[in-house]
Amino acid sequence: MSVTFALLSDAVIILDETQISLELCHWYRVVRKCQDATELAIFRYLGIEYPKSHLLGRVIKRELGEFRFLDIDELNKMAFITDSLTFDREPSFYGSPNGTPASELFDEEDAREAIENTKWILDAVKKIIE
């Protein structure tokens, strides 16, 4: 298996792991894992130079937009999803600056939305490589 297919496989495994966190009502862990899976799938798998920031939307638009892999609506959706997950990344690890623990910041709706969006990202990446 090539490195690129191994990375997409890792992203799928991470997404599968969100089901355990979902069952345990660990919403914050679902959000965290989804951000990790999308990052692996988009940057590592597609061979885009990883930026110094986890905020990926601008890089996605620049790198993927140049090759016209996705239409503009799909590109904007991918950028929005990755940036949204990135904004939730730190709070999902450390909680809020005012001391609210990560476990209290996210709910089931947040977790399910993160999973749905991550599935959409992985499907978009698969579409690009087919």
pLDDT in tens, 52-66: 555 666 666 666 656
Chain center to CA of 11:
9
Residue 37 pLDDT greater than 70, yes or no: yes
Domain that holds residue 82: 3-129
Read off the CATH number of the domain in which 65 is found. 1.20.120.330
**Tally of domains in the chain:** 1
pTM: 0.81
In percent, the amount of the chain with pLDDT more than 70 equals 75
